[in-house]
Structure 1
Amino acid sequence: MRLSRVGNAGHLVLYVAESQQGAGDQDVLDLANSQDAPLLTQDKDFGELVYRLKRLHTGVILLRLAGLSAELKSDLTARAIRDHGVRLAGSFTVISVSIIRIRRDQ
């Protein structure tokens, strides 16, 4: 996915796969929290951390966009952040092709 599209829209983007390679999910969530930034991921395990284990977070955005091109994933993600930006903070959001679900529990 082209994270530059999200960054070019004025949002801070940290690419954890490069900077924190091999870090566990809790460490990645802690890093996002320390930056007061939502976590953008394709890993459904973060749902378990947030809901079953009740971990605190500053926002998780789960991308359910398998099978789409990197360009289309980037476009859909950037559009969702643009259209719903302030509502995403502190929420667990799922972005799919047909719907954006935003759930705020905290």
Structure 2
Amino acid sequence: MSRIFICLYLDEDVNVLVADLLHARGFDVITTRDAGQLHATDAEQLAYAISQARTLVTHNRTDFEELIQKYFDLGQTHYGVIFAVRRSPQEIAQRLLAILNQITSDEMQNQVRYI
């Protein structure tokens, strides 16, 4: 599946206002609440993002770095993970916009970014 624009999946630790701010700019963003994935495990969150060809955005660097390493070790594909330091929703949205406006969905595949 080839798309130009990255579609995001925000895990439940990321403020839903980030999704609203990005939606207002025309980007495809869903949250765990939107997807009915509240309280899913980290592995389930990543699997869901992959099943939907979405880049996962999370604050949970420790657990997801370990999961992503397993994907790399097994040669499995994912659609990218963005680790966001806890900041205001507006600042996180601005940092995500920099990625969304410069990187294609194909370029984000199997990539990890830190914002």
State whether TM-score is above 0.5: yes
When structure 1 is superposed on structure 2, of 53-62 and 70-79 the one drifting more is 53-62
Q: Matched residues in 2 for 1:5 and 1:82: separation?
A: 14
**Under a length normalisation based on structure 2, what TM-score does the superposition of the two structures give?**
0.67
Percent of aligned positions with the same letter in both sequences?
A: 23
CA separation of 1:37 and 1:76: change in aligned 2, threshold 3 A: same
Q: Matched residues in 1 for 2:101 and 2:21: separation?
A: 11
Deviation at 1:26, TM superposition (A): 0.8
- Equivalent pairs counted in the alignment come to 92
Q: RCO higher in 1 or 2 (8 Å CA, sep ≥ 6)?
A: 2
Deviation at 1:17, TM superposition (A): 4.4
Once the two structures are superposed, the pairs formed by residues 27-66 of structure 1 within 5 Å of their partners are 27-44=44-61, 45-51=63-69, 53-54=70-71, 56=76, 57-64=78-85, 66=86
**CA displacement 1:23-73 (0-9 Å, x = unmatched):** 00111111111101111111111111011x236322111112x2x322112
Runs of at least 5 residues in structure 2 that lack an aligned partner in the other structure: 1-14
Runs of at least 5 residues in structure 1 that lack an aligned partner in the other structure: 96-106
Conservation of the 8 A alpha-carbon contact between 1:3 and 1:13: yes
